[in-house]
């Protein structure tokens, strides 16, 4: 029984993998915010698309 208690104690103190979980939670939160901005603000979306089109046009003109 003592070995089981020691195993449980070591498991509770183990911090490996915690950082990855924290980053995953932050990533989900940031993704939700970005998604909310794209859904609720079509002007932002259109401006971003326009900016990428300008960049693509400039890259095409330089490469030709």
State the average pLDDT over residues 5-27.
Answer: 81
Instruction: Report d(CA 46, CA 52) in Å as an integer.
Output: 10
pLDDT of residue 63: 80
Phi, psi of 3 (to 5 degrees): -65, -40
Rounded average pLDDT over 28-55: 92
Using an 8 Å Cβ cutoff, are 38 and 44 in contact?
yes
Encoding tokens for residue 18?
A: 């915690």
**Domain residue ranges in the chain:** 2-63
Instruction: Give the distance, in angstroms, between the CA of residue 62 and the centroid of all CA atoms in the same chain.
Output: 32
> Does residue 15 carry a pLDDT above 80?
no
pTM for the model stands at: 0.51
Q: Mean of the pLDDT values across residues 7-23?
A: 77
Does residue 16 carry a pLDDT above 80? no
Q: What confidence category does residue 12 fall into, taking pLDDT thresholds of 50, 70 and 90?
A: confident
């Amino acid at each position: 029984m003592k070995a089981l208690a020691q195993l449980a104690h070591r498991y509770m103190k183990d911090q490996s993998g915690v950082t990855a979980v924290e980053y995953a939670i932050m990533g989900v939160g940031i993704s939700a915010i970005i998604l909310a901005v794209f859904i609720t603000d079509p002007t932002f979306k259109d401006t971003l698309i326009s900016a990428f089109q300008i960049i693509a046009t400039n890259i095409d003109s330089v490469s030709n």
